[in-house]
Structure 1
Amino acid sequence: MHVLMVAAENDALPGAKVGGVADVVRDAPKALADQGVTVEVVIPDYGFEPLTRIYIGEVTVVFNAQPHVLTLFKIQQTNNNVSQIVVSHPLFSGSGSVYCNDAPGRPFATDATKFALFNAAVCEALSQGLLTRPNALHLHDWHSACVAVLIKFEPRYSSLKNIHIAYTVHNIALQGIRPFKHDESSLETWFPSLNYNGQHLCDPRYPHCFNPMRSAINLADKVHLVSPTYSQEVLSPSNNDRGFFGGEGLEHDLQNSAKQGKLIGILNGCEYPESNTKNADLDTLYKKIENTLFGWMSNNEQLQSSYYIAHQRLQQFKATAANGPLVTSVGRLTEQKVLLLCQQVDGRLAIDSVCQIINKYNGRLIILGSGDKELESIFSKAMARNSNLLFLKGYGQGIGDLMYQLGDLFLMPSSFEPCGISQMLAMRAGQPCLVHSVGGLKDTVEHDENGFSFNGTSLALQASNLLNCLDETLSLKKHDPKKWHKIKESAQQARFSWIEVAANYIAQLYR
């Protein structure tokens, strides 16, 4: 079997990771290859200067009514039986990053144009034989959705129509919506001669707009959600007042996919290296944090208050012995991840109450992550108010790895979580997790067995239950060390194997 994966991110290559999809596109192909599947992965070339490229060929694509020449390269690698391919064009490497932040009122505009051109190049390369015709074409998230649109509606690619298309939804909250026309970043500007069926491609809430994610869901042979629970949650409409995040407008299309038997929920996997446990202590973590903080500070001429406060807090942590639990949290600062921590509970923000509860047990909270500027400000101010909170505004792989190893309890109160990788990494290191029982968190963390969980039928109730669960969890750690150790061991022994995931891909997604 030959599989071609198309994505925006791939952590097998440097500089091509932003979120969890990059981990999947790095790990799933290796697991498939181990089961005898030939796998090629293709992403845009974001300017990978240090890599050794092997020239494959060029394609010319008519895009925006102009010919564009794009070059395909295979990346030379050692000890890897997966072919990594990049498509080069100035539009991809010009920004120096995977994604662009467009001005308010023009969501996805720059990225949508970039990925539409990339998708057209993939189709052209397939039609010309520069990419081997696969048994299954595996598309990831909205960034690759135009591949399905062009294969189904562009006569030039009619020879590709019978290729089996599997489409994975990693995050349904990001759908890549753009106008059909009358905009430089729109479907008809990119492909003016495309004779498409608007009923399949339009956004259900904005019928004059093209919705790439909805298009791929409707056009694919199989639709994959990255956990069994999430594959059920998306069948219901979102209800923000209840704190429920479901289909985000695409629930009817997903219900139709379920009726057709093409909707599949397969949990992502996690890698388990043989020598995962390394000897580390808090001094190692604090030194790593300090070095990283200095690096962040040096990137700006003016010292940011969040870095100054973090450095002062770090000195405070180093000067006083820690005899209580270390609670950790690693992840991007988005509404999805921290909405519950920003709720008002009894006249104060939930994050302040979290710190107060942890303080009751002489504990500390370290949060690593960046993202939404407003949320960064909220957490910086919370750090200033709470002497046991260290908020590190940024991301450092080394810090994250040490936090997984050294933390006593991992906090992940996501409002929705398609799968989640952070909880798997924490569990792998023997750190139990406290999670909101949704999506992949529900499928990986069992309350009082290998971790702790809460839920609730409203945002207010969820925030309140989070605080109660945290208090009960830290009380258990303090007063029942035998049970705590058993839960810790169960977390460390849990396995979410890519081998099993790959077998399910082959049996359920690619046939």
Structure 2
Amino acid sequence: MKNFLFVSAENDALANCKAGGMADVVRDVPRQLAATGDQVHVVVPAYNRLHKTGRFITELKICIQGKDTVAEIYEVAPKKQIDGITHYVIHHPQIVEGNIAHIYNDDPEEPFFTDAVKYFIFNTAVAQAVKQNIFDHVDIAHLHDWHTALLVFHREYNPAYEVLKQTHFVYSIHNLSLQGIRPLRDNYASVEGFFPEIHFDYHQISDTRYPDCINLMAVGIRLCDQVHTVSPSYMQDIMKPSNKPEFIGGEGLEHDLIAAHQQGRLHGILNGVNYANMRVAQKGKLYTNILKQIYRWIQEESKKYKADILANTGEKVVELLDNPPSFIASSVARMTEQKFYFFKRNPLALKAILEKLKANNGIFILLGTGEPEYEVLMREISYQHSNFIFINGQSEDIIDSIYLESDLYFMPSLFEPCGISQMLAMRNGVLCLVHHTGGLIDTVQDGIDGFAFKGESINETINNMVTSFDACLKIFNEDKTTWKKMRKKAKAARFSWEDSVKEYYAKLYTY
């Protein structure tokens, strides 16, 4: 039996601890590991809120900025209790919640400043918890994205945490575009500022483009024993240089990734999706669930600033109760450049799609929170188009209903490491229209179990996106037989965690 430690910024096994697809992976992989008989400990930051209903375990005395401070570790109850898995959160006054999904911070003037501070403290506290044997002897530590890479930095350079050298480290790249780049020195949120006592190899942690900075994504890639991307096609993409905005590749880390691949340390393994014991939405409850959630949100003080958009959305949905649409297109995603760059680059493309939907008695439901500029853009377009339902919040009930009741799930991602939304939609037999990039290439077959578009330039890609959307509507309206056959094939597609985790054991967890 192996003993695993999963370290992440988010974990959807806990309530209110999700911003994106990484949280689903951190929820599902431990469940599959536990099903094989292994023991799994999962730890995330408390964000000054998740510990409040937890069971206090112990204090963790750590050294930050040359001074002793105390963090606390709590065991917390998951949404669903699974034998073999224990969930923890780490609390410290400086591990604060952010304005993005109550997890991440948006620091436009100095990117990653606030997040670097809290994840520096979080990782150091996790190292101390390992040292204090809170998780028993850890055989394998599985780290997720730049937020957790400092743990392997401690293994490599911090004499206080020699115990980490006994552990095999695996690093998963969920989104290479977010790299956690921070100054090495002369800044409050810098490595030397937080860890003046640690002597490190400058070349092993520095950013190749900004030599006076640490690149935490690079640290994970260079120092972990095995490195993993969440789809085979994304692994191929990121070993090539980026050519923005036409192609998003290695983002300056392609040489590190090529080296890891040549050393046999880089692996592309497709994420899975849960097909058993899943939340099942009730058919016909989409509009009811939206209205119920809007009513709850408007009563919350934290949502007061969104009252206008929520009320506007509610008014549109009430109309749909009496006059249901003939076609529902939908998207569920974080409001970021990755997910909706095409709409920001050319808002007229989205408006053209909305007009086409309107002519077919169709609506577009978009649910998500994220970067303010994208929220503002969608809000403005929603005011102009009565058939654009923008739900600026997070709700599992609404999301489950969207995946169940949509006719077409739309994923116009600029790039996509894997994507789980298309798998969740296909699980219900909902056809997807996707930009054929990264993991979307590995999951959606154009004309067979879904639809795809691409192009040689951004403008060509956007034009093809609109044309492909028209083609989807045409098949839906004029060729029901083909539509039904494609739906059947989408529902039959399988991307199981059982298969993915077998590859994890073979490629990532052997040592």
Cα deviation digits, residues 23-72 of structure 1 (max 9, x gap): 111110010111122211122233335634162x3332111111112233
- Among candidates 130, 134, 152, match of residue 134 of structure 2: 130
Structure 2 distance, partners of 1:86, 1:466, is 42
Shift of 1:239: 1.2
| Aligned partners of 1:277 and 1:429 also within 8 Å | no
Alpha-carbon distance change, 480 to 301 in structure 1, aligned in 2, over 3 angstroms:
closer
Aligned to 1:352: 351
Aligned to 2:336: 334
- Among candidates 83, 86, 89, match of residue 86 of structure 2: 83
Map 1:109-128 → 2, pairs under 5 A: 109-128=113-132
Structure 1 distance, partners of 2:5, 2:430, is 36
Partner amino acid, structure 1, of 2:339: K
| Aligned partners of 1:222 and 1:509 also within 8 Å | yes
Map 1:448-459 → 2, pairs under 5 A: 448-459=447-458
Unpaired runs of 5+ in structure 2?
Answer: none
Alpha-carbon distance change, 399 to 161 in structure 1, aligned in 2, over 3 angstroms:
same
Map 1:411-450 → 2, pairs under 5 A: 411-450=410-449
Alpha-carbon distance change, 326 to 69 in structure 1, aligned in 2, over 3 angstroms:
same
- Aligned with 2:329: secondary structure? strand
Shift of 1:334: 1.0
Alpha-carbon distance change, 382 to 418 in structure 1, aligned in 2, over 3 angstroms:
same
Q: How many positions carry a matched residue from both structures?
A: 503
Alpha-carbon distance change, 72 to 276 in structure 1, aligned in 2, over 3 angstroms:
closer
Aligned to 1:296: 297
Q: Answer yes or no: is 1:224 the counterpart of 2:228.
A: yes
| Aligned partners of 1:3 and 1:38 also within 8 Å | yes
Shift of 1:89: 2.2
- Aligned with 1:442: secondary structure? helix
Q: Answer yes or no: is 1:247 the counterpart of 2:247.
A: no
Aligned to 2:162: 158
Partner amino acid, structure 1, of 2:269: I
Deviates more, 1:422-431 or 1:93-102: 93-102
Deviates more, 1:388-397 or 1:223-232: 388-397
Q: TM-score, normalised by structure 1?
A: 0.93
Q: TM-score, normalised by structure 2?
A: 0.93
Alpha-carbon distance change, 483 to 450 in structure 1, aligned in 2, over 3 angstroms:
same
Identity %: 38
| Aligned partners of 1:75 and 1:86 also within 8 Å | yes
Aligned to 2:110: 106
Q: Answer yes or no: is 1:314 the counterpart of 2:313.
A: no
- Aligned with 2:487: secondary structure? helix
Structure 2 distance, partners of 1:244, 1:362, is 35
- Aligned with 2:94: secondary structure? helix
Alpha-carbon distance change, 312 to 70 in structure 1, aligned in 2, over 3 angstroms:
closer
Aligned to 1:38: 39
Shift of 1:316: 3.2
Aligned to 1:178: 182
Deviates more, 1:34-43 or 1:152-161: 152-161
Alpha-carbon distance change, 73 to 388 in structure 1, aligned in 2, over 3 angstroms:
closer
Q: Answer yes or no: is 1:494 the counterpart of 2:493.
A: yes
Shift of 1:86: 2.4
| Aligned partners of 1:10 and 1:43 also within 8 Å | yes
Alpha-carbon distance change, 468 to 139 in structure 1, aligned in 2, over 3 angstroms:
same
| Aligned partners of 2:66 and 2:197 also within 8 Å | no
Q: Answer yes or no: is 1:74 the counterpart of 2:98.
A: no
Q: What RMSD, in angstroms, separates the aligned Cα atoms of the two structures? A: 2.1
Alpha-carbon distance change, 308 to 40 in structure 1, aligned in 2, over 3 angstroms:
closer
- Aligned with 2:17: secondary structure? coil
Alpha-carbon distance change, 312 to 472 in structure 1, aligned in 2, over 3 angstroms:
same
Alpha-carbon distance change, 150 to 275 in structure 1, aligned in 2, over 3 angstroms:
closer
- Aligned with 1:92: secondary structure? coil
Shift of 1:275: 7.1
Shift of 1:13: 1.7
Structure 1 distance, partners of 2:219, 2:506, is 24
Shift of 1:215: 0.8
Partner amino acid, structure 2, of 1:502: V
Structure 1 distance, partners of 2:309, 2:393, is 10
Structure 2 distance, partners of 1:271, 1:287, is 26
Aligned to 2:271: 268
| Aligned partners of 1:333 and 1:372 also within 8 Å | yes
| Aligned partners of 2:281 and 2:400 also within 8 Å | no
Structure 1 distance, partners of 2:33, 2:277, is 20
Alpha-carbon distance change, 277 to 117 in structure 1, aligned in 2, over 3 angstroms:
closer
Cα deviation digits, residues 200-221 of structure 1 (max 9, x gap): 1111211101111101110011
Structure 2 distance, partners of 1:208, 1:6, is 27
Alpha-carbon distance change, 303 to 255 in structure 1, aligned in 2, over 3 angstroms:
closer
| Aligned partners of 1:288 and 1:399 also within 8 Å | yes
Unpaired runs of 5+ in structure 1?
Answer: none
Shift of 1:321: 4.1
Aligned to 1:259: 262
Q: Answer yes or no: is 1:24 the counterpart of 2:54.
A: no
| Aligned partners of 1:236 and 1:247 also within 8 Å | yes
Partner amino acid, structure 2, of 1:289: I
